Amino acid sequence: MINTHFKIGFRNILKNRGFFALNAGGLIVGLTAVLLISLWVGSELNYNKSVTNYNSVAAIMQKQTIAGEVKTYTGLPMQLSPVLRKEYGNHFKHIAMSSRIRNYNIKYNGDMQMVRGRFAEPDYAQILDLKMIVGSRDALQDISSVLISESTSKNIFGNEDPMGKAIKINSTMDVKVAGVYEDLPQNSSFRNVKFIAPWDLLKKSANYEKRLGWGNYWFQVYVQLNDEHSLENAATAIKDVFNENYINKSKERDYQLFLFPLSKWHLYSKFENGVSVGGRIEYVRIFSIIGIFILLLACINFMNLSTANALKRSKEVGVRKTLGSSRKQLIFQFFTESFMIILFSFVVALVFTFLLLPQYNTITLKDIVIPFGEPSFWLVCFLLLGVTAVLSSLYPSIYLSAFNPVTVLKGLSSNNKTAVNLRKVLIVVQFAISGILIMGTLTVIEQIDHAKNRPIGFNKDLLVSVPMNNNKVLQSFDVIKSELLESTFINQVTASDVKITAAYTTNGGSFEWKNKDPKLRPEFYTIRATLGFGKMVDWKVLQGRDFSAKFPSDTLAFLVNETAVKYMGLENPVGEYVRWGDNGNYKIVGVVKDMVTRSPFDPITPSLFILHNGRFLNYVNIKIASNNTGAVEGAMDKIKTVFQKHDPGNIFRYSFMDEEYERKFNAERRIAKLVGWFSLVAIFISCLGVLGLSTYMAIQRRKEIGIRKVLGASVSTIWQLLSKQFVILILISLVIALPIGYYFSSQWLLEYSYRIQIGFWIFALSSGFILIVTLLTVSYQAIKSATSNPVNSIRTE
């Protein structure tokens, strides 16, 4: 019997190729999109799970109460690790202080490569449970050793044996390769750790012991819990370590340490008022909902087309019931036919997913592969297939098997009102979902444009930043500046501690000014720079003056931004003094217009600008004279020549500030692109359904259309007759979609402090787009029917 069901199903597919193409086409597109989304969501949910000690590894972080608000930081002082090891070592199996992951120049036999890595205490290798190909994880206990990844070994040494080979890090630190470990998984927070060097080597090389204290939060601390201690117990134990050990502690300070488990690093990294409130988990939820919506659209499309096609199968049902077939047998027959289409569609969708993955990975910046060898993947596939089969096939199978044999064999209509009304409801649902997705896409695009068009308060064009890789470059800055300015392609040269697009926080409760609230623990973003920096970036001085060589006292002066003036409550800021801890009293000599020196989506923060020529300068900033190709190329050739002369031991690196600023929009652009593509998928599936229904409606009413044409009806009249019903349904769907879309878009925008107000044009464009696409889809069949020969439809043979 089952074999017979498959034979009949195959024959019906061959007989109704148009129906099969529409049904399978919608399912293939929908299932492909769902599979791609599922792979992305799975990648996000499994992030870091490849780490052996996933459930026991945590990062130590700190909370600080600033201006009545609790703020969270990953940075910690280097003094913390020894204290934890000495006083709280029983709570932890491993404790490791670490620098942040960054690019380092690695030199071997005269060749240099840029490699990402970090310096860390020996326990770091144990926490990661490095899989050693050769050598030992314990090698980090030797200050002259380094561990490198397998890919780094191949890039530097090729097929040579790396063990014992001498390399130089940043031209100042000599180490020997003492071990090679397997590359850490791409789907983890440690994927960019391509080498690990001893923490003591960095500390000694940079003279951290003399330079840094408890107030320098430059580093990170990772721990692995002992089996007998819970995360909560360990966190409670270390909570007040900072307050108890900070030498310059005062009543205004309120530091708290806490443990942030590895399981939350990726998806729950956003903190508000000291509490983890989300992060990338929001994107996981958004795309999961989109995936569910698309699956529903594909299933609704299948149901609509199947019930609309029921009229062709009514006499078959009547004959089979008359010959003794039970309703149960008929349900199983029609379900088998539907499942054949669904199974075929799923297999094709799987192939399309495989083919589209490279492009998909380019958009998402991931390295997703289809895990054919994992049972969990096939379990998800079977569940997806089962859900699709039930949603798509169950109702059509029941509906088809319910026909009354007497009625259908007499040739009477079996197209009851219940089925018609259900199809209308499903069309409304389809286009309501499509409208919500389009509104979301337009909102994301508008938010990105809003941030891009935001006045940033400085000129980022033709501004190049080159890092100083060592003290030798810093000491040669004046010479480098003179040599660069010899070029007619270069206008200005300055130095700064950070890039203009990446100011950092200076907090510490050590700022004092007139009438300051004693309970306020201030926080400022700071940029230290040499003379001429303001002129170079073309900042706007609103009050007072810029730094000037005419005033030697400017070494103890601040420029502040507008937000800082409001934050400090100063009515006449120019001439006021601010005491900065032990650094002395700084005079405010000017107020500059607010500048966007961090994320363009966030509000402007209180900022201080400091004239500085000391050891904290890290970047040389160069202003190119013209934006024509020859000037830019000439300037870059000169810059490269000068830096290779003064810093031959390091790879020449640079960045254009306009490109750095543009990169701040990349995450939102990726979201907009993905949501946009999936919105188009939703519209495509919905339009396939409308095309199928309009085709069957035209077939069902072909005699009526022929008679109307004979009686003089025009093409436009016939078009209106067939289009009117769909337009009404689309308008109903938009009435439902717009408020829901507005709500979800508004909720998403709450993630941004600097955000748009959802305008009427978003509603209008979403509605107009759906209406136009629907009318174009319906018009194809409507015009085809209206221009056909009425003789062929009226004739009775």
Per the CB < 8 A criterion, the answer to whether 34 and 392 are in contact is no
Q: Could you give phi then psi for residue 332, rounded to 5 degrees?
A: -65, -40
pLDDT of residue 624: 95
CA pair distance 95, 77, nearest whole angstrom: 14
Please determine, for residue 82, whether its predicted confidence score (pLDDT) is greater than 70.
Answer: yes
Q: How confident is the model at residue 692 (pLDDT cuts 50, 70, 90)?
A: confident
Q: Which of 250-254, 390-394, 768-772 has the lowest mean pLDDT?
A: 250-254
Mean predicted lDDT score pLDDT of the chain: 85
At position 91, the amino acid (one-letter code) is H
Highest mean pLDDT out of 115-124, 376-385, 517-526: 115-124
Mean pLDDT of 438-444: 89
Please determine, for residue 356, whether its predicted confidence score (pLDDT) is greater than 70.
Answer: yes
Residue 247 three-state SS: coil
CA pair distance 712, 734, nearest whole angstrom: 35
pLDDT of residue 147: 97
CB burial string 190-207: b at 16+ within 10 A, e below: bbbbbbbbbbbbbbebbe
Please determine, for residue 5, whether its predicted confidence score (pLDDT) is greater than 60.
Answer: no
Q: How confident is the model at residue 795 (pLDDT cuts 50, 70, 90)?
A: low
Please determine, for residue 790, whether its predicted confidence score (pLDDT) is greater than 90.
Answer: no
Per the CB < 8 A criterion, the answer to whether 381 and 388 are in contact is no
Please determine, for residue 378, whether its predicted confidence score (pLDDT) is greater than 80.
Answer: yes
pLDDT of residue 247: 54
Per the CB < 8 A criterion, the answer to whether 640 and 435 are in contact is no
What contacts 592, CB < 8 A, 6 or more positions away? 457, 534, 539, 540, 541, 542, 559, 560, 561, 562, 609
Please determine, for residue 533, whether its predicted confidence score (pLDDT) is greater than 70.
Answer: yes
> If 0-12 CB within 10 Å is exposed, 13-18 middle and 19+ buried, where does residue 15 land?
exposed
pLDDT higher for 668 or 157?
157
Per the CB < 8 A criterion, the answer to whether 544 and 590 are in contact is yes
Which H or E run includes 445?
helix 417-452
Quote the radius of gyration of the chain (alpha carbons, Å): 34
pLDDT of residue 39: 93
CA pair distance 580, 578, nearest whole angstrom: 6
pLDDT of residue 132: 95
Mean pLDDT of 708-730: 80
- Angle, helices 281-308 vs 327-364, to 10°: value is 140
Sign of CA dihedral 240, 246, 249, 255: negative
Give the model confidence (pLDDT) of 496-510 as tens digits: 999 999 887 765 557
CA pair distance 137, 460, nearest whole angstrom: 45
Q: How confident is the model at residue 640 (pLDDT cuts 50, 70, 90)?
A: very high
Q: What is the DSSP string of 739-793?
A: HHHHHHHHHHHTT-SS-PPPPHHHHHHHHHHHHHHHHHHHHHHHHHHHTS-HHHH
Mean pLDDT of 753-770: 88
> If 0-12 CB within 10 Å is exposed, 13-18 middle and 19+ buried, where does residue 471 land?
exposed
Q: Could you give phi then psi for residue 105, rounded to 5 degrees?
A: -85, 125
Please determine, for residue 245, whether its predicted confidence score (pLDDT) is greater than 80.
Answer: no
CA pair distance 568, 591, nearest whole angstrom: 13
Please determine, for residue 706, whether its predicted confidence score (pLDDT) is greater than 50.
Answer: yes
Q: Which of 84-88, 178-182, 421-425 has the lowest mean pLDDT?
A: 421-425
- Angle, helices 17-45 vs 281-308, to 10°: value is 170
What would the two tokens of residue 53 be? Answer: 């000690």
pLDDT of residue 182: 95
pLDDT of residue 49: 92
Sign of CA dihedral 113, 116, 121, 124: negative
Cα distance between the two ends of the chain: 37
At position 501, the amino acid (one-letter code) is T
Please determine, for residue 250, whether its predicted confidence score (pLDDT) is greater than 70.
Answer: no
CB burial string 241-278: b at 16+ within 10 A, e below: bbeeebeeeeeebebbbbbbbbbebbbbbebeebebeb
CA pair distance 432, 415, nearest whole angstrom: 25
Please determine, for residue 665, whether its predicted confidence score (pLDDT) is greater than 50.
Answer: yes
Give the model confidence (pLDDT) of 442-472 as tens digits: 998 898 888 888 899 999 999 999 998 877 8
What contacts 187, CB < 8 A, 6 or more positions away? 43, 46, 47, 48, 50, 366, 367
* 719-725: Cβ within 8 A, 24+ apart: 719/779, 719/782, 719/783, 719/786, 721/782, 722/694, 722/697, 722/698, 722/778, 722/781, 722/782, 722/785, 722/786, 723/775, 723/778, 723/779, 723/782, 725/697
pLDDT of residue 636: 95
Please determine, for residue 599, whether its predicted confidence score (pLDDT) is greater than 80.
Answer: yes
What would the two tokens of residue 370 be? Answer: 């289809």
pLDDT of residue 11: 65
Give the model confidence (pLDDT) of 271-328 as tens digits: 888 888 888 898 899 899 999 989 988 888 887 777 766 666 666 666 666 766 776 7
Mean pLDDT of 208-229: 86
Please determine, for residue 252, whether its predicted confidence score (pLDDT) is greater than 60.
Answer: no
Mean pLDDT of 632-657: 91
Query: Given the structure tokens 């960095």, which residue do they identify?
Result: 202
Q: How confident is the model at residue 428 (pLDDT cuts 50, 70, 90)?
A: confident
Mean pLDDT of 6-23: 68
pLDDT higher for 757 or 335?
757
Please determine, for residue 560, whether its predicted confidence score (pLDDT) is greater than 90.
Answer: yes
